[in-house]
Amino acid sequence: MKIICIGRNYAEHAKELGNAVPDEPVIFMKPKSALLQSHAPFYYPEFTNELHYECELVLRICKNGKYIQSKFAGNYYNGIAVGIDFTARDIQDELKKKGLPWGKAKAFDNSAAISNFIDITPGLNKKNINFSLKKNGELMQKGNSGDMIFSFDSIIEHISNYFSLNIGDMVFTGTPAGVGECVVGDELECYIENQKLLELEIK
């Protein structure tokens, strides 16, 4: 199982971090050890002083494939979840300055919190899914899949040109504006529409 993540997929978020809007998807990976299931505690990593949440929709891959055309991409994922791409922003800023890969800032243990998956049904409009994150009960991030620069299907097409997709892989599809810091004691809740699917405390 692998976790593939898309960066800078919402124009407003790219802007808030001072990044250009990309002309093709920005891709990075998290290992299996990064996975944190819903309701498990998240422990603040000792190597960072600036931990950020990034609330994202996550796809569940249900079919093996490579070189998948976007018109067939819908056959390759069958579930959607909400997740948090935890990021050590101070470390990432240092690495970016040096032109180095983001691994230390993005792929650490428990950095991929993922809720249970909702099955994608034919009636679901994949271009109009609302999702959000609350910190200590206050709304911090609000996104809609229709605002993605690269749609689910074009993401699948693009990543499958580089990596085979396998059953059980998961794809973080990028975060909307409103990312921010969290500290020990914060409670994070993530929603798809009005359904709370992920809840965790920073310990």
Backbone CA torsion sign across 80, 189, 140, 50: negative
Give residues with Cβ within 8 angstroms of 100, minimum separation 6: none
Residues in the chain: 203
Q: Which of 175, 191, 192, 202 binds Mg ion (CB under 5 A)?
A: 175
Q: Which is nearer to Mg ion, 54 or 157 (CB)?
A: 54
Q: Which residues pair with 119 in a beta bridge?
A: 79
Considering only residues 41-70, where is the footprint of Mg ion by CB under 5 A? 54
Whole-angstrom distance, CA of residue 155 vs CA of residue 73: 9
Q: Which is nearer to Mg ion, 54 or 189 (CB)?
A: 54
Q: Which of 85, 153, 157, 189 binds Mg ion (CB under 5 A)?
A: 85
With CB under 5 A as the contact rule, which of the stretches 22-30, 31-39, 152-160, 167-175 interacts with Mg ion? 167-175
Q: Which is nearer to Mg ion, 27 or 62 (CB)?
A: 27
Phi and psi of 31, rounded to 5°?
A: -80, 170
Q: Which two tokens stand for residue 166?
A: 């396998």
Cβ proximity of 4 and 173 under 8 Å? no
Q: Which two tokens stand for residue 92?
A: 């990432």
**Which run of H or E residues covers position 12?**
helix 11-16
Cβ proximity of 184 and 41 under 8 Å? no
Q: Which is nearer to Mg ion, 141 or 160 (CB)?
A: 141
Q: Which residues pair with 187 in a beta bridge?
A: 201
Smallest separation (angstroms) from Mg ion to the CB of 197: 17
Does 153 help bind Mg ion (rule: CB under 5 A)?
A: no
Q: Which is nearer to Mg ion, 77 or 172 (CB)?
A: 172
Smallest separation (angstroms) from Mg ion to the CB of 55: 9
Q: Which is nearer to Mg ion, 132 or 175 (CB)?
A: 175
# chain residues binding Mg ion, by CB under 5 A: 3
- The contact set with Mg ion (CB under 5 A) reads 54, 85, 175
